[in-house]
Amino acid sequence: MTPLSKAWNDLEDDELSDLDPEVSLIGFELAECVIKLDPAAAKYLRVVHRTALELAIPNRFGVEAGGFWLTNDQIEELRRLADHYPPGEAEAVAQTIEIYLRAQLRDFYFGLR
């Protein structure tokens, strides 16, 4: 993990808006990443990651690129995972999903700076 002045999960939404690229994201490869979660959200991380892997398309951009890729459609489907939980848990699941996606995309956004 590269040293950062602020942890990725601690970035505010307005700080992320400054990173808006001139290209559109069509997908990203799932990769190992460091995720900082509170205990309430941490218990859902395994199911979020497993669901992301099930939704991901292997070799989406060819064997040369390899990997398991989530496109915009799979990202939206992953976000709907929280709808399958009781109201008392849905918010924690949704929070875990967003933190997971931010962590997966951290290198993409920081590579743009």
Domain boundaries, the chain: 25-111
Cα–Cα separations (whole angstroms), residue 80 to 76, 97, 98: 6, 10, 11
Q: Say if residue 22's pLDDT is above 80.
A: no
Model confidence, pTM: 0.70
Give the whole-angstrom CA distance, residue 73 versus residue 39.
29
pLDDT higher than threshold 90 for residue 52: yes
For position 1, what pLDDT does the model report? Answer: 37
In this predicted structure, the answer to whether residue 23 has a pLDDT above a threshold of 70 is no
pLDDT digits (tens, 9 = 90+) for 6-20: 444 555 555 555 555
Region 48-71: mean pLDDT is: 81
What is d(CA 18, CA 75) in angstroms, rounded to the nearest whole number? 22
Residue 34 amino acid letter? V
Burial code (b: 16+ CB inside 10 Å, e: under 16) for 2-29 equals: eeeeeebeebeeeeeeeeeeeeeeeebe
Q: Which tokens hold the place of 108?
A: 């993409």
Instruction: Report how far residue 110's alpha carbon sits from residue 3's, in angstroms, rounded to the nearest whole number.
Output: 12
Among 16, 81, 20, which residue's Cα sits nearest to residue 52? 81
Strands 57-58 and 68-71, bridge-based pairing: antiparallel
